[in-house]
Amino acid sequence: MTSDIKLRWATQNDYELVGEVMFDAVRNGRSQYSDAQREAWVPQARTGTLWEKRLSEQSIIVAINSAQIVGFMSLAPKSYLDFAYVRPAFQGQGLFRRMYEKIEKLALEQKQPRIWVHASLMAQPAFSKIGFNIIKKENVEIAKETFERFEMEKHLNHSSFSGNPN
């Protein structure tokens, strides 16, 4: 149940754990990508100095049940939604939407005009459901594997934002 899952902003202590969530989601979740593509995308759980630096420059919301981090989503500079991952066992329960609502609220507080993302084939439908539009379909190469993905954006409605903290 997602009601048992709490959301909070990540700290540096969470960085290795969110790397594990990303690995679990990509390598063990439902996918339209081949095993070779998934292995090229995330060959192992991300850790280390470069990972920590990248995450330290972002605002990251984590979803936690009583035992572990089960999902995370991040907002990087220039309103780029860099990461959005949910462990396979917790997908399809509204957790993606709950995390996104916190990210959008932060972007509104920062007076960002939009949020944009590079969405995988699996993430594109979820982003579409929350109001993102496809700008273009792209092919990118990672470790000699080619991936289809979508550049998407959502323009934010500042007139309905009250700015109240919560």
For 43-59, write each residue's pLDDT tens digit. Answer: 999 999 999 999 999 99
Q: Where are the beta strands (DSSP E) in the chain?
A: 6-9, 59-64, 69-76, 80-86, 114-120, 133-142, 145-155
Measured CA to CA, the distance from residue 43 to residue 14 in angstroms comes to 20
Residue 163 scores a pLDDT above 80: no
Match domain 2-160 to its CATH number in 3.30.360.10, 3.40.630.30, 3.40.50.970, 1.10.3720.10: 3.40.630.30
Measured CA to CA, the distance from residue 90 to residue 8 in angstroms comes to 17
β-strand pairing of 114-120 with 145-155: antiparallel
Quickly state the pLDDT bin for 157 (edges 50, 70, 90): confident
Residue 1 scores a pLDDT above 90: no
pLDDT at position 119, please?
97
The domain spans of the chain are 2-160
For residue 1, what are the CA distances in angstroms to 39, 114, 126, 160?
Answer: 30, 31, 19, 30
Specify the pTM.
0.92
For 2-34, write each residue's pLDDT tens digit. Answer: 568 999 999 999 999 999 999 999 999 999 999
Residues 78, 135, 91, 72: what is their CA dihedral angle, to the nearest 10 degrees?
Answer: -10
Average pLDDT (149-157) is: 96
pLDDT at position 91, please?
93
For 103-127, write each residue's pLDDT tens digit. Answer: 999 999 999 999 999 999 999 999 9
pLDDT at position 84, please?
97
pLDDT at position 2, please?
55
Residue 135: half-sphere exposure toward Cβ, Cα within 13 Å: 12
